[in-house]
Copies of this chain bind each other. A is one copy, B any other.
Amino acid sequence: MALEHAILVSLLEKPGSGYELARRFERSIGHFWTASHQQIYRVLGRMEADGRLVVREVEQQGRPDKKEYSVAGPGRAALAEWLHKPIEPESLRHDLAVKIRGAAFDDPAALVREVERHRQVHRDRLAHYLAGEVRDFTGPQAPAPPDAGQELQHVVLRGGIAYERMTIAWLDDVLDTLHRLAGRPTGPGA
């Protein structure tokens, strides 16, 4: 149930509403976690009922009112407990890799467009992360000296950048392989 912990960390960094959390999960946090707003609202409701979060109704002007959540004592304790427990190293679920192996039983050349599309998405993400890095960490607007929280956010972002670069290079390798196979007179069927 790591979504709860991701929410706790995000709310400790800055309290916010379910809507704001959903936007954060799309953006900066997006490079290591994703969640839909439906799921976030459900979990927020549960955590508030359990006493791990507290809500505050905030009236706004020019837009609907919101519920601002922040972390309560039990929430902080739950996070600390989780932080001290070992977790399983993550396992990948890479649908595109299934497709690539599956292409052996279909037409490898038909996969080129799909792989190119994915590569473009990863290039866009990389550009987005790099812009965020300059804005928040390495540019002239960045706070100096950074505190521990910023150092840790930065190293996580560097992980996202490294992941995107690696993925783009690998997809180039995949495209080379697909093009090489397209030059062969091998029909579908293994």
Residues of A within 8 A of B (CB): 2, 5-6, 8-9, 12-13, 30-34, 76, 79-80, 82-84, 86-106, 108, 110-111, 114, 117-118, 121-122, 147-149, 151-156, 158-159, 162-163, 165-166, 169-170, 173-174, 177, 180-181, 184, 186, 190
User: Contact at A101–B152, with CB atoms within 8 Å?
Assistant: yes
User: Contact at B180–A158, with CB atoms within 8 Å?
Assistant: no
Residue of B nearest to A122 (CB): B89
List 6 tightest A-B contacts by C-beta distance, closest first.
A32-B97, A104-B149, A32-B94, A166-B166, A34-B91, A9-B102
> Complex formed: what's the CA distance from A165 to B105 in Å?
30
A159 neighbours in B (Cβ, 8 Å): 94, 97, 170, 173-174
User: Contact at B104–A84, with CB atoms within 8 Å?
Assistant: no
User: Contact at A190–B12, with CB atoms within 8 Å?
Assistant: yes
> Complex formed: what's the CA distance from A190 to B30 in Å?
21
> Complex formed: what's the CA distance from A87 to B108 in Å?
16
Residue of B nearest to A80 (CB): B106
A-B contacts, 29 listed (Cβ < 8 Å): A2-B93, A5-B99, A5-B102, A6-B98, A8-B102, A9-B101, A9-B102, A12-B190, A13-B104, A31-B97, A33-B93, A34-B91, A80-B106, A83-B106, A86-B114, A89-B118, A89-B122, A90-B93, A90-B95, A94-B159, A97-B156, A97-B159, A101-B153, A148-B184, A149-B190, A155-B177, A162-B166, A162-B170, A166-B166
